[in-house]
Amino acid sequence: MSFLVVYNGQFSPFVYPTGTPSGIPRVTPLKYLKEVHEFKDELSEFEPEVKINHHHHQKIDAYNQVSKKFEEQRKRHYAKDIMTFPVKVISQNAKATEAQELLKKFGFRHLPVINEQDIIVGMLSDRELAAASPDKRCKDLMLERIIVAEEQASINEIAIILLKEKLNALPIINHKREVTGIITLSDILKYVIESTSFLGRG
pLDDT digits over 67-85, tens only? 666 555 555 689 999 999 9
* pLDDT-wise least confident of 6-20, 101-115, 152-166, 168-182: 6-20
Q: Residue 70: name the closest of 176, 197, 200 by CA.
A: 197
- Supply the pTM of this predicted model: 0.69
Asked whether residue 192 carries a pLDDT value surpassing 70, the answer given is yes
Q: Provide the pLDDT confidence category of residue 31 given band limits of 50, 70 and 90.
A: very low
pLDDT digits (tens, 9 = 90+) for 106-125: 999 999 999 999 999 999 99
Task: Provide the residue ranges of all domains of the chain, joining segments of one domain with +.
Answer: 3-21+78-194, 31-74
Work out the average pLDDT over 115-144: 92
Q: Where would I find the beta strands (DSSP E) of the chain?
A: 3-7, 10-13, 90-91, 110-114, 120-125, 145-150, 169-173, 179-184
User: Contact 148/171 with Cβ under 8 angstroms?
Assistant: yes
Pick the CATH number of 3-21+78-194 from 3.40.630.30, 3.10.580.10, 3.40.718.10, 2.60.120.380: 3.10.580.10
Q: Tell me, what amino acid is at 135? A: D
Asked whether residue 186 carries a pLDDT value surpassing 60, the answer given is yes
